[in-house]
Amino acid sequence: MLKKLLGIIGLHVLMLLSVSFNKDILVPYPQGSGNLQPLNDSIVYPQNYFKSPLDIPLTLAGNFGEPRKLHFHTGLDFRTNQMEGLKVYAPADGYVSRIKVEGAGYGNALYITHTNGWVTVYGHLQKFNEQIMQRLRKEQNGKESFAVDFKLSKNEIPVKQGDVVALSGNTGGSGGPHLHFEIRDTLDNVYNPMLFGYKLKDNIKPTVSGMKFYAMDDDLKYSTEGYRSKVALVNGIYNLPVSTLEVNTKKIGFSVHTFDKLEGTENYIGIYNMTVFDNDKMVYQYQIDKISFPEKRSVVSHVDYPVFLAESRRSLHKCYVEPGNTCQVYANLVDGGVVNLEDGKPHNIHIEISDFSGNVSQVDFKLKYATAATLFKPKSTDYDINFQYDKPNSFNNSDFRVDIPKGLLFDNVFARYTPTLATEPGIYSKVHQFGNSDILAYDWFSVAVKAEGLPENLKDKAVIMYKDKTGAKACRGGKYENGFIVGKGREFGQYYIAVDTTGPRITPVNIAPGRNMRKYGKIQLKMTDAVSGIIDFDTYLDGKWVVTTYDAKNALLTFPLTGLAAGEHTYKLVVEDERHNKSEYSVKFVW
């Protein structure tokens, strides 16, 4: 039975009912007050119900909703003093409802459903308590798979508030030791834990370091470059270098580079609320209270994503909403937050940016439409791709096809398609430049590339490869169909066909034939794959399948050596990639 490295995400279907969402219930608050209300006031957030999952003072390495690569962050990252192994406590009574283990993502993850219906989630754990570990090993051994994702019955592993359920760690995609903590409903919507009373000491206002402006007139929106400006803090309010910014567009959008900080840490974290007023009329609100997992990719629309990628994840939060962005973090929108300047009069723009503790930073400036202004400079409008966000879209020729269903584009796309002959060996198609990699979709769409010179015996080894403008490559899978390899994509950019005929590479780290492993106490190896990626591995000790942990970020396998009889033993690793090429490493060692 094929065992995937990444578990399949399941949904809890329990008794908590889904709640409705009203996008216009945030009440305007006095300017500068920071008196914010949750986006959905029909939800009761229990206070003082959930205790701390750690027994150290809580400080954050990351907060809920802050922009990350390809997603809004869905929890709080609690610092663990740069170490692993801190006790993780159940914050309230409940039961272990799900265990998920994978080499990437959350690594070792635990889900507890509480008696009040809410679910808490813990990611990047080092290990679970003994009872949970025994249940995990039973599942892994039964499925002969390191990566597992399974639910538990209500009566299987009950927990009481204060029980030690795990130790903190650095597993999965973690960039350092910390505890990732979430609160969800039973439909896997994720809520800001701050709403439940996890408030931290914070007297620091968000920082604003710059702005960017965008022409939004129909004839300028896709044919002009944005304009960036610095800001200066004057008498406690951020201002532009000019008192009135004159622009050559009647409709304008803008974004703000802003972030928050907490006392006692140098980490930059995300803001909580941003509200925009046009001549004292509220036209836009963003507030990060709740998000669903499919929506988290909307971050590529919320921030100026090309800047985010190019400038070390600099977050310019847009103060307008692209027409295809339906994420539920916005309220009280007037024309999507786009400011209308067609009256030719100066408009007083006031922006308030808040953290959860109510610290507010303010930005004030004036905007005016002027026919003589030259702020927005034209850029190339040469295109042959014209996709509409509110329609299904297709691009077809004899060598290349793309089909994007309705609802996957955040805005209209105008781009250029350019095919070229391959210059690198091992490519079995033209290289198709389909727009650029700054354009990302909400979800996967179909991509088909015509094969050229592909031998019959390599059809099942052929894959679609994607390359972005930095040269980074990713396999997009695919299947041979009537002369094409049909795969998938989630972004515009470069697509072509390559083949994968080579098994994964296995590199011993601390083991060698005949070596006495007592002083090491564990076997470690690395496994990598250059093209299609690893999907499965199996490890055996003296012919019996055993659990070996996998750390995807370091490509590292670790098997602890405990309880072995003295003498010679054999350890074997079998690795398979996405194109079903296999590699095997077997070694005899002494204990």
pLDDT in tens, 567-576: 999 999 999 9
Tell me, yes or no, whether 533 lies in a domain. Answer: yes
Cα separation, 496 vs 501, in Å, equals 17
Evaluate whether 287 touches 39 at the Cβ level (below 8 Å): yes
How many CA atoms, within 13 angstroms, populate the side-chain half-sphere of residue 575?
25
pLDDT at residue 42 is higher than 50 = yes
Which domain CATH number covers 513? 2.60.40.1220
Q: Are residues 550 and 571 in the same domain?
A: yes
Note the pLDDT of residue 266.
80
**Does residue 294 lie within any of the structural domains?**
yes
Length of the chain equals: 591
Question: Within this chain, do residues 492 and 524 fall inside the same structural domain, yes or no?
Answer: no
Of 369, 396, 421, which residue constitutes the final position of a domain?
Answer: 369
How far apart (Å, rounded) are the C-alpha atoms in residues 44 and 511? 55
Are residues 495 and 510 both part of a single domain? no
Answer yes or no: do 518 and 583 share one domain: yes
Give backbone dihedrals phi and psi of 41, rounded to 5 degrees, phi first: -80, 5
- The Cα–Cα gap between 46 and 464 comes to 49
Phi–psi pair at 587, nearest 5 degrees: -145, 140
Distance CA 194, CA 555 (A): 35
The enclosing domain of 135 has a CATH number of 2.70.70.10
Measured CA to CA, the distance from residue 245 to residue 333 in angstroms comes to 23
Q: Helix, strand or coil for residue 116?
A: coil
Give the residue, 14 or 577, on which the prediction is more confident: 577
Total domains in the chain come to: 4
Q: Which residue has the higher pLDDT, 17 or 188?
A: 188
**CATH number of the domain residue 365 falls in:** 2.60.40.10
- Return d(Cα 167, Cα 86) in angstroms, integer: 5
Which of 584, 583, 581 minimizes the C-alpha distance to 501?
581
In a domain, 171, yes or no: yes
> Cα-Cα-Cα-Cα dihedral of 285, 291, 296, 301, to 10°?
-20
Tens of pLDDT, residues 295-319: 999 999 999 999 999 999 999 999 9
Q: Which domain holds residue 449?
A: 385-499
% of residues, the chain, pLDDT over 90: 90
How many Cβ atoms sit within 10 Å of the Cβ of residue 211?
23
* Residues 21 and 163 both lie in one domain: yes
361 — pLDDT class (breaks 50, 70, 90): very high
The answer to whether residues 95 and 20 belong to one domain is yes
The rounded mean pLDDT for the chain is 92
Q: Which two tokens stand for residue 523?
A: 């076997």
Report the pLDDT value the prediction gives residue 8, as an integer from 0 to 100: 27
pLDDT-based confidence at residue 543 (cuts at 50, 70, 90): very high
Q: Residue 263 — pLDDT band, cuts 50, 70, 90? A: confident
Mean pLDDT of 186-206: 92
CA–CA dist 216, 223 (Å, integer): 10
Please indicate, yes or no, whether residues 356 and 390 belong to a single structural domain of this protein. Answer: no
Q: Are residues 393 and 356 both part of a single domain?
A: no
**Helix, strand or coil, per DSSP, at residue 136:** helix
Residue 6 sits in the same domain as residue 135: yes
Contact 277, 358 (CB under 8 A): no
How far apart (Å, rounded) are the C-alpha atoms in residues 589 and 291? 50
Direct distance between the N- and C-terminal alpha carbons of the chain, in angstroms, rounded to an integer: 32
Do residues 330 and 356 both lie within one domain?
A: yes
Residue 225's CB: how many other CB atoms inside 10 A? Answer: 12
Of the residues 309, 337, 369, the one at which a domain ends: 369
* CB contact at 8 A, 393 and 439: no
Does residue 96 share a domain with residue 191?
yes
pLDDT confidence of 264, banded at 50, 70, 90? confident
> 393-405 pLDDT, tens per residue?
999 999 999 999 9
Look at residue 34 in the predicted model and tell me its pLDDT: 52
Structure tokens that stand for 291 in this block: 């998000």
Q: Is residue 105 part of a domain?
A: yes
Q: For 195, what's the count of Cα atoms within 13 Å in the CB-facing half-sphere? A: 24
Distance CA 573, CA 314 (A): 42
Closest CA to 350 of 249, 304, 286, 282: 282
* Residue 556 resides in a domain: yes
For residues 470 and 447, give the distance between their C-alpha atoms in angstroms, rounded to a whole number. 21
Residue that finishes a domain, picked among 171, 200, 229: 200
The enclosing domain of 479 has a CATH number of 2.60.220.30
Cβ-proximal residues to 31 (8 Å cutoff; 6+ apart), any chain: 277, 350, 352, 362
Give the pLDDT confidence score for residue 382 in this predicted structure. 86
Query: Distance between CA atoms of 78 and 75, rounded to whole angstroms?
Result: 9
> Does the structure show a pLDDT above 50 at 32?
no
Q: Are 31 and 281 in contact (CB under 8 A)?
A: no
Q: Are the CB atoms for 285 and 321 separated by under 8 Å?
A: no
Q: Do 363 and 225 share a structural domain?
A: yes
- Tell me the per-residue pLDDT of 316-337, one tens digit each, with 9 for 90 and over: 999 999 999 999 999 999 999 9
The Cα 73–Cα 313 span in angstroms is 13
CA dihedral (178, 179, 182, 183) in degrees, to 10, reads -140
Per-residue pLDDT reduced to its tens digit, 471-499: 999 999 999 999 999 999 999 999 999 99
Residue 15, phi then psi, degrees to nearest 5: -95, -10
Task: Kindly state whether residue 380 falls inside one of the protein's structural domains.
Answer: no
Q: Work out whether the CA dihedral 336, 342, 344, 345 comes out positive or negative.
A: negative
Residue indicated by tokens 């034939």: 513
Evaluate if pTM is beyond 0.85.
yes
Residue 282 lies in a domain: yes
Nearest to 4 by CA among 550, 464, 540: 550
Q: CB-hemisphere CA count at 13 Å for 134?
A: 4
* % of the chain beyond a pLDDT of 70: 93
pLDDT at position 199 is 80
* pLDDT band at residue 18 under the 50/70/90 scheme: very low
Q: What is residue 36's predicted lDDT score, i.e. its pLDDT? A: 66
Within-domain flag for 353: yes
Structure tokens given for 471: 């040269």
Give me the mean pLDDT over the 170-182 stretch: 97
Strand partners of residue 523: 559
- Whether residue 147 contacts residue 3, with contact meaning beta carbons closer than 8 Å, is answered with yes
User: Which pLDDT band, with edges at 50, 70 and 90, does 39 fall under?
Assistant: low
Helix (H, G, I), strand (E, B) or coil at 367: strand
Is the predicted pLDDT of residue 106 greater than 90, yes or no?
Answer: yes
